[in-house]
Amino acid sequence: MAPQLDGFFKQVDNDAGHYIERLRKAVAIPSISAEPARRPDVVRMGEFLADELKALGASVELRPLGDQPGHPGLELPPVVLARYGNDKNKRTILVYGHYDVQPAEKSDGWATEPFDLTVDDKGRMFGRGATDDKGPVLGWLNAIEAHQKAGLDFPVNLLMCFEGMEEYGSEGLDDLIVAEAKKYFADAEAVCISDNYWLGTEKPCLTYGLRGCNYYSIEVSGPGADLHSGVFGGTAQEPMTDLTRLLGSLVDTNGKIQIPGIMEQVSPVTPEEESLYDNISFTMNDIHESLGSKTTIFDDKKSTLMARWRFPSLSIHGIEGAFSAPGAKTVIPAKVIGKFSVRTVPNMGIEKTNQAVFKYIEEQFAKLGSKNTMKVYEQHSGKWWVASPKHWNFSAAAKAVERVWGTQPDFTREGGSIPVTLTFEQATGKNVLLLPMGSSTDGAHSINEKLDKRNYVEGIKLLGAYLHYVAEEPKV
Ligand SMILES: C[C@H](N)C(=O)N[C@@H](Cc1c[nH]cn1)C(=O)O
Ligand SMILES: [Zn+2]
Ligand SMILES: [Zn+2]
């Protein structure tokens, strides 16, 4: 089956160094979507991708999305839409990925410069975006190029949609997907997204579910300017005191969300679901390795996987305006903004969750009896998604995993979020598959994010092999 794969694999092995150089160029562009000052870099990254795709012979469009909501005059980065191949006798597959990244500063604790791809003697390629999601996005381009260089026919028509705002809730993309579902994406017969991670370091997986994410800010202000704590301490009501008490009321040490109206929305565990967890190749050692410590809430595999995949969680991310430098500054910050998010699961609603969060925080603030001013609002949100893996899209991917990695994949859900996944499914009416490239120790969103050279090179083979097996799936 898929007789051309040996030639394709050989070409990928030959050109591994070239693919790493392509990733190096991409990582060097600090395309941080959360920082408005970096917007020109995000745009430059979109243009870099468009140029690379054009050089490969794809037809490419850079679609503007207008201004970012709440930021008049700040344009959203363009969506890169591309098509490679237009043969009516071939299947058409739509792939999605993102070219923006999370913020990163060397001073956060990186061992190397985050935007300078650094390959160590174990083949670990360190750099912001290496695994999330520049490596996988370039994987599709590398697969096209390898076919060209090996003189092989590309097995499918490939539609591509690469965005630059995924790490900020994919603002603006839902509307484009809906508008293009019956136009640019009309031929798509299935969707594939490579933007998540294996559960461990050795066993590949195919993913059929994601949690959603509602992201919030709590703003507390009082004094007209930052104050001297010797002069004003004990006389002024301090915004930071109020904010930390509010943040401290949201969740307990064991992750139990304290907000009424959240857990009540969660769909009950069915006996069928209970039996799924035993067969997943995952141990507490895997999570201890990727966590870098043994500080897990649960001590068993099933509770840990359930907490990650099918229950909501609440995480506190940071405080804007607070003193955070080393040393000891005796300041009373005048205005502080706490950031937290709730990962959502079936059957939680975005609006219902917002209302529960707002009500609870307003009640908690009223209880403080503070004269300060408090505002709580949603920054962005993304929906959860759970699909059926019983589809030819998943069967083709499973064959590709077996061919490339010599083992059968696990079928997993993911604790992270990819906001447009459900939109692709609903707008196109097609099956969506998540086909990860990176492993559990990659440290996406963390310091020292990396992608192993092995996962990158075999991952390029995996994406290409998936397209070959898709082409062999009978049309029903
Ligand atoms: C799983 C994916 N690679 C990812 O990292 N997604 C982000 C998306 C996001 C950011 N804000 C809200 N959603 C994530 O899960 O944090
Ligand atoms: Zn991602
Ligand atoms: Zn991410």
The per-residue pLDDT for 1 is 75
Which residues are close to ligand 3, an ion, with C-beta < 5 A?
132
| Residue of 389, 393, 411 lying closest to 473 (CA atoms) | 393
pLDDT tens-digit readout, 401-413: 999 999 999 999 9
In ligand 1, the atom with minimum distance to the C-alpha of 445 is 5
To the question of whether residue 441 is assigned a binding role by annotation, the answer is no
The per-residue pLDDT for 2 is 76
Mean pLDDT of 450-460: 98
- Name the CATH superfamily housing domain 5-210+384-472: Zn peptidases (3.40.630.10)
Does ligand 1 lie within 6 Å of residue 212's CB atom?
Answer: no
The per-residue pLDDT for 7 is 98
Give DSSP secondary structure letters for 239-293: HHHHHHHHHHTTB-TT--B--TTSGGGSPPPPHHHHTTGGGS---HHHHHHHHTS
Specify the pairing of strand 124-126 against strand 227-228. Answer: unpaired
CB 310 within 8 A of CB 194: no
The per-residue pLDDT for 310 is 97
The per-residue pLDDT for 474 is 86
Measured in residues, the chain has a length of: 476
Examine the pLDDT at 35 and tell me if it is beyond 80: yes
Residue 175's pLDDT band (cuts 50, 70, 90): very high
- Which of 96, 166, 350 has most ligand 1 atoms within 8 Å of CB, for mutation? 166
- On the CB side of 87, how many CA atoms lie within 13 Å of its CA? 12
Residue 41's pLDDT band (cuts 50, 70, 90): very high
- Which of 418, 440, 449, 451 has most ligand 1 atoms within 8 Å of CB, for mutation? 418
Does ligand 1 lie within 6 Å of residue 382's CB atom?
Answer: yes
Question: Reduced to 3 states, what is the DSSP secondary structure of residue 119?
Answer: strand
In ligand 1, the atom with minimum distance to the C-alpha of 414 is 1
To the question of whether residue 83 is assigned a binding role by annotation, the answer is no
Average pLDDT, the chain: 97
| Long-range contacts (CB closer than 8 Å, 24 or more residues apart) made by 278-285 | 278/302, 279/410, 280/199, 280/305, 280/410, 280/412, 281/199, 281/200, 281/203, 281/410, 282/199, 282/200, 282/410, 283/200
List, by residue number, the catalytic residues.
100, 166
pLDDT tens-digit readout, 88-124: 999 999 999 999 999 999 999 999 999 999 999 999 9
Q: Which CATH class is domain 213-266+311-382?
A: alpha beta
CB 437 within 8 A of CB 201: no
pLDDT tens-digit readout, 311-325: 999 999 999 999 999
Q: Which two tokens stand for residue 57?
A: 């012979």
Q: Which two tokens stand for residue 472?
A: 């062999």
Question: Reduced to 3 states, what is the DSSP secondary structure of residue 75?
Answer: strand
Q: ipTM of this model?
A: 0.98
Tokens 């859900």 sit at which residue?
Answer: 413
**Measuring from atom 6 of ligand 1, which residue has the nearest CA?**
417
Does ligand 1 lie within 6 Å of residue 15's CB atom?
Answer: no
- Classify the C-alpha dihedral 7-135-409-435 as positive or negative: negative
**Measuring from atom 12 of ligand 1, which residue has the nearest CA?**
169
Specify the pairing of strand 79-84 against strand 157-163. Answer: antiparallel
Domain ranges, ordered by start, for the chain:
5-210+384-472, 213-266+311-382
